[in-house]
Each structure stands twice: as C-alpha cells, then as structure tokens.
Structure 1
Amino acid sequence: MPDKTDRVAERAAALDRLIGRAPIVPVLAVDDPEAAVPLARALVAAGVPALEIMLRTAAALEAIRRVATAVPEIAVGAGTVLNPAQFAAAQIHGAQFIVSPGATPALYAAAIDTGLPFLPGVVTPGEIMAALDHGFTRAKFFPAVTIGGPAALQMLAGAYPAMRFCPSGGLTAANIASFVREPNVFTAVADWVAPKEMLAAGDWAGITALTKAALQAAKGA
C-alpha cells in the first residue's frame, strides 16, 4: 500500500499529466450541450490537452458527458464544484479532474475517497497550508489578479516551496505570460478563448485562433 508521500506525489503527477502539459487551460461556460463537442474539437485543433467546463449552467454536466464520450483526445474537467454532490455528479458524467474556487473538508474527503484528480482553490496562506495538510501540492490560485498577481505568487514561493499554482481570475492575453513565467506556476486559466458570441455563432475556427493566440501569449514567458 502506498504511503502518504507516494499518494501526494501521485496526485501531483496526475494533474501535471492532465492539465500541466500546456501553459493554459481553457475554462468554459457552456449553455448549449450541442456546442460541447465541436467546441472541444476546436480546442484540440489549437493544441491544448485539457479543458474545464464550469458547473455554472444547466447544460454543464451534459456537456462534460458529451466531450468525455466523443473527444477522448482532450481531458475534460468540471469547474466551480462547490460540494460533494456536484463532485459526484461530475465524476458520473465523465469528468477526469475536478476544480473548485475554494475548498472544504468535505471536498477534500471526496477527492481522497474517489482518487479523482482535484485542484482545490486557495488564496490565503491558511488555505494553502490546509491543502498541503490534506496532501495536495497543486492548487488553483483564485482570484489571482485581485489578490496581488505575480507579485503575490513570488511572495508565496519561499514559504510554500512544494506548492504549484494554476492562477485564475483576471488573466488576459496581455498579462498571462507574467504569471506563467513564475516558477511555482504549472499552468494558467484562459477563460476568454470561447466568447459567448462565437459559441452562439458556431465560430469554431475563430475559437481555435483565439486559443492558439492565448497559447502563444503564454509561451511568451
């Protein structure tokens, strides 16, 4: 049976493998499940290995199910997961990883019980310490710009050398490189690559182009 150190390493490796292979993770709100598969294929065409669908719409779980079934070449995660019931529903619908804007003992317990890769949201030193205490060394840093941006990440690096962050909240094509260049960042959220108007118009080529531009902006780090 693996010891705690092994389990911590396995959790980190799973997230690195799923969402850490590219400098960005597209984060999406999907209102129409019919758009989910062509949207995922547009992101694959741009070269990203993972996407996150936020549980902020009635279509989100069905969108996750369709992507998981029809586009296996991209990892699909569920975001804005707030409680164990949503965690379980996302897993049932095929989510390969779970992201929360914050974290609770109940969410940590769900992640540990299921073994599904989990990216807890943190913003304060105490929340980072709680994540580490539960055995999680990858976390969502949210809201990244509001809380101090790259300068905040620099200040946290010395105190928490084991933690790697995925900054989210206020990132743009203009500032994403300043986050990605920080050594304690393993990927970053790009939530502007699928605007509602492009989704409504089915402009998949436009979404591919925006995503490629976001990748290039992040690689500018």
Structure 2
Amino acid sequence: MNDPQELFDHGPVIPVVVLDEVGHGVPLARALLRGGIRVVEVTLRTPAALGALERIAAEVPDAVVGAGTVTSPDLAQDAAKAGAAFLVTPGTTESLLDAAEQTGLPFLPGVATVSEAMRLAERGVTALKFFPAEAAGGVPFLRSLAGPLPGLRFCPTGGITPAKAGAYLALPNVGCVGGSWLTPQDALAAGDWSRIEALAREATSLR
C-alpha cells in the first residue's frame, strides 16, 4: 500500500486501538480479520503499543497495521522501524509532516480546521484524518467542506459511535471512520476475542 487513499478501500471502519499488553496485539488482529476487518490502527499511547504493532506486522501478514497518535518525528521513525504500514497523526506540524513523508509510508495527517486542510492540500496531501470529529464540528463541518474542497477525503475520528457512523459515511468526502468501539477495554482485558470479532462483523455492514 503506497497511497493513503487505499486505506479507504478496505472497509467503512478503521479500529482505533489502545493496547496495554503486547501479547494482546496478535489475537486482536486475528479476531478483527475473522470479523472482516483488515486495517487496524494501534495508537502509540501506551508502553506496549510499539511492541504489539511489531508483533502484528510480523505474525499477522493479512492485517494492515498502522500507528496512530504519532505526535513527533521520533515516533514516526519508531513506528516505521516497528513495521507500521501507515501512520496517523492527531494534528500536523511542519516537522511531523516532514518526518512522516521521510518514512515513505502512507499517512493520514490530522486536521480540525479549514486552514489546516488547505495547507495540507497545498503540499499534495488529499487523504486526511478529521480529529476530534464530534468536538470539532462533526457531520455538518465535513459536509460544508465538500463544496470548496472537493479534492479532499477524510477519516473522521473521535467520539464516533455505531449510531453516528452512518451519517459520516454517507458524506461524499468521507472514505471511512475511525472508531474505538470495536475494541472496548473490558473485552481486551478479558481476552474476549469472540466479542471483538462480532463487533468487527457488525462494523463491516455500516456502509
């Protein structure tokens, strides 16, 4: 996968995952695959995240595992070395954008304003993360961008639930949504992979 737009072709939802145990990564990715979801974003919010990402990349070749919450150039490099297939940032600074480009990986840079989206478009970036989606204007905001910025597509993330996902996915400039509801912390802690598989299967029918 070389083009971040390809992330939008794998399904309507990218699971946004917080892992506290390295050993949870592989069974989680396998459960998502059984439920029909290939792409998973492991957020770099915990000490276990990079190790879990590395193991998924090595042991679950059918999964497309990326690193989320990439907030610094060092994290971008660390994620690339761990085997990330793509990067996702919550916001975008010039140094972070440069570092993401230098990895050679596809990436979804985070935006929350029109000016941020336009600045990235000037640099040729057309696949973006809209974060925090619900807090930053939600569906009405993205709908209003479709006219003046028709060349941009978004993966809105932040506060999105199964009940809200459909309204986002109906927008012409939304390629997919990011959601944490597919991998609830209590299910991860209990190793309840069948529940996660069921949630993944439900998510594939959202579009």
TM-score in terms of structure 1 length: 0.90
Specify the alignment match of 1:4 in structure 2.
none
1:190 correspondence with 2:179: yes
Q: Secondary structure at the match of 2:146?
A: helix
Give how far 1:190 is off.
1.6
Percent identity between matched residues is 44
CA distance in 2 between counterparts of 1:122 and 1:138 reads: 11
Specify the alignment match of 2:135 in structure 1.
146
Give how far 1:19 is off.
4.5
Q: Secondary structure at the match of 2:96?
A: helix
For residues 1-150 of structure 1, what are the structure 2 equivalents within 5 Å?
Answer: 14-150=3-139
Post-superposition CA distance 1:80-101 (Å, at most 9, x none)? 0001100000000000100000
Q: Secondary structure at the match of 2:199?
A: helix
Q: Check conservation: 1:54, 1:80, Cα contact below 8 A.
A: yes
Q: Which runs of 4+ in 1 moved over 3 A?
A: none
CA distance in 2 between counterparts of 1:77 and 1:41 reads: 15
- Unaligned 5+ residue runs, structure 1? 1-9
CA distance in 1 between counterparts of 2:122 and 2:129 reads: 16
Which amino acid is the alignment partner of residue 49 of structure 1? R
Specify the alignment match of 1:199 in structure 2.
188
RMSD: 1.3
Give how far 1:215 is off.
2.3
Specify the alignment match of 2:168 in structure 1.
179
Give how far 1:148 is off.
1.9
Give how far 1:112 is off.
2.3
Q: Check conservation: 2:66, 2:85, Cα contact below 8 A.
A: yes
Specify the alignment match of 1:6 in structure 2.
none
CA distance in 2 between counterparts of 1:42 and 1:166 reads: 23
Which amino acid is the alignment partner of residue 197 of structure 1? D
- Unaligned 5+ residue runs, structure 2? none
Post-superposition CA distance 1:132-169 (Å, at most 9, x none)? 12211000001111122111111011111110000001
TM-score in terms of structure 2 length: 0.96
Specify the alignment match of 2:147 in structure 1.
158
Q: Check conservation: 1:18, 1:49, Cα contact below 8 A.
A: no
Between Structure 1 and Structure 2, how many residues are aligned? 207
Q: Check conservation: 2:158, 2:179, Cα contact below 8 A.
A: no
Of residues 18-27 and 149-158 in structure 1, the stretch that sits farther from structure 2 once superposed is 18-27
